Structure 1
Amino acid sequence: MRGTEPPVTPDGRYIVVRGRLWRKANPALDAEARQTLVADLMKARRAVRDAVRIRDDMSLRQARRSVNDAKVALGERGPVWWTDGAPDLNRRLARNTIYAEWYAALPEQP
């Protein structure tokens, strides 16, 4: 996000982008590990961009695998990082979840 940070759910598990919940990285990751994983993710995203640009399907599949691997390692995908048994609501519309009332009370998003 450029300029403003997206809203974060009260429990700190998700950000909301265009009305949709996206799981945040595991806050238990130490700063160095998180920084390394974010760098890996950015490198993988650039590889996706480059593979699309040159229309290389094999490289694209590998790059997308690398993106997924980095996101799993960050805790944004795969098993949830919280331990209270709450379900994963990643990619769901906030208005259709337990966060609906909180989301409705937010100032209108651009």
Structure 2
Amino acid sequence: MTRKPPPDTTPDGHHVVIGGRRWRATDPAIPDDVGARLRVHLMAARRAVGVALRAHDPEAERAARDRVQSAKVALGERGTPWWEQSPEERRTRWQDGLAALDAQGAQGAQDA
């Protein structure tokens, strides 16, 4: 399987450019293993949005969209820009975000 080349970035590295649009880049200080776990949560939440939409379940949709937001904030792609945070604030952001998403995932497994 071939991998896509990484997207273009702005000169300051704060944004990626995809299809001519600028998107905030993931915080480059996030350790690879943590980033991978956050992306697993993000993709699961995005899939849950689709399931909720197809089921016409606004409560489940809201919960899934909240999880997407939590993952995006933890990745540094939303919320306070990561380049405006201290190293400790950045570490706290991704650690707290991952802990919250892990807890939500465990709770969701118990509810299923």
TM over 0.5: yes
Query: C-alpha offsets along residues 61-85 of structure 1, whole Å, 9 cap, x if unaligned?
Result: 000000000000000000111139x
Q: Distance in 2 between matches of 1:62 and 1:20?
A: 27
Query: Structure 1: which 4+ aligned runs deviate by more than 6 Å?
Result: none
TM-score under structure 2 length normalisation: 0.68
Cα shift at 1:5:
3.8
Structure with higher RCO (Cα < 8 A, 6+ apart): 1
More helix by share: 2
Cα shift at 1:12:
1.2
Letter in 2 for 1:58: E
The corresponding residue for 2:44 is 43
Gaps of 5+ in 2: 86-112
Number of residue pairs matched? 83
SS of aligned partner of 2:17? strand
Q: Distance in 1 between matches of 2:7 and 2:33?
A: 23
Q: 2:31 matched to 1:30?
A: yes
What is the Cα-based RMSD across aligned positions, in Å? 1.7
Gaps of 5+ in 1: 85-110
Q: Distance in 1 between matches of 2:84 and 2:74?
A: 17
The corresponding residue for 2:15 is 14
